[in-house]
Amino acid sequence: SGPVGLLVAAGSGSRLGASIPKAFVEVAGRPMLEWSLEALRAAGIGDIVVALPDGAVAPAGVIGVRGGATRSESVGAALAAAPGSGPIVVHDAARPLVPPSLFADVLAALEHADCAIAAARVTDTVKEADPDGAVVATLDRSKLWAVQTPQAFRREALQAALSVDAAILARATDDAWLVERAGGTVRVVESSPANFKITTPHDLQVAELLLRQRG
Ligand code: CTP
Ligand code: MG
């Protein structure tokens, strides 16, 4: 069967600091969640499960589930409600600028991997420092990727990767890492920094300007 989209929207948005959960904060006149849903639909993904904060109402035409305490638990809750048996594509509600073609790109890359993730080449030099600020190492930038969503998975690979302790799930900032841990193969699919995640008030300002231009 066809791919199922899992849209994770259950976070509180503590770093954004708004008075409502982040996915419901308006950007250019619409909740962030609606822009992300529109992109999934434009990509031809009709089966969509949304992980929502406690008490939130699911948008029309999607399956709503209550999210978990961590991002991976929210993915797990959404996966449990996914219809069919086709591949899964996970997307953050907090990336409303995603180009619809990126969903097809990551799904196509599953031909050669258990998991395929959108990622942008790192443009800053990245250093590792100790807690005092003393530099320990400078990483080789040419090999570094800043990971985004969408992330596509063979369904069995995602199911197996999520079948671990809550303590491990809590450490996962992305689901691809869980597939790596489980011994699965993960590939990057080159994406643009324009598909950034709205995390801080600055990100929200930039997204507002860009989405207003779109009309
Ligand atoms: N997410 C989720 N369930 C959680 C935590 C996060 O569904 N328990 C989702 C968020 O809604 C978001 C995506 O995962 O779309 C990426 O997470 P992040 O940007 O960290 O969002 P928040 O956790 O809401 O923000 P913060 O970490 O600043 O509190
Ligand atoms: Mg978070």
pLDDT in tens, 148-190: 999 999 999 999 999 999 999 999 988 999 999 999 999 999 9
Long-range contacts made by residues 13-22, C-beta under 8 angstroms, separation at least 24?
Answer: 13/94, 15/199, 15/200, 16/198, 16/199, 16/200, 16/201, 16/203, 16/204, 17/201, 21/53, 21/56, 22/93, 22/94, 22/198
Among all ligands shown, which has an atom nearest to the Cα of 31?
1
Give the separation between CA 24 and CA 46, rounded to whole angstroms.
21
pLDDT in tens, 107-133: 999 999 999 999 999 999 999 999 999
- CB atoms < 10 A from the CB of 17, how many? 11
Amino acid present at 204: L
Atom of ligand 1 nearest to the CA of 12: 24
Among all ligands shown, which has an atom nearest to the Cα of 7?
1
Ligand 1 close to Cβ of residue 52 (< 6 A) = no
Contact 104, 191 (CB under 8 A): no
Nearest CA to 47 out of 93, 70, 73, 79 is that of 79
Atom of ligand 1 nearest to the CA of 94: 15
- 94, with CB counted inside 10 A (0-12, 13-18, 19+), is buried
Ligand 1 close to Cβ of residue 159 (< 6 A) = no
Distance 212 CA to ligand 1 centre (A): 24
Nearest CA to 176 out of 147, 201, 204 is that of 147
pTM: 0.97
- Which pLDDT belongs to residue 173? 86
Residue with tokens 């990509």: 43
What's the chain's Rg over C-alpha atoms?
17
Q: How high is the ipTM of this complex?
A: 0.99
> Which fold does the domain 4-214 belong to in CATH?
Spore Coat Polysaccharide Biosynthesis Protein SpsA; Chain A (3.90.550)
Protein residues near ligand 2, an ion, with CB under 5 A: 11
Give the separation between CA 5 and CA 78, rounded to whole angstroms.
9
Give the separation between CA 172 and CA 195, rounded to whole angstroms.
21
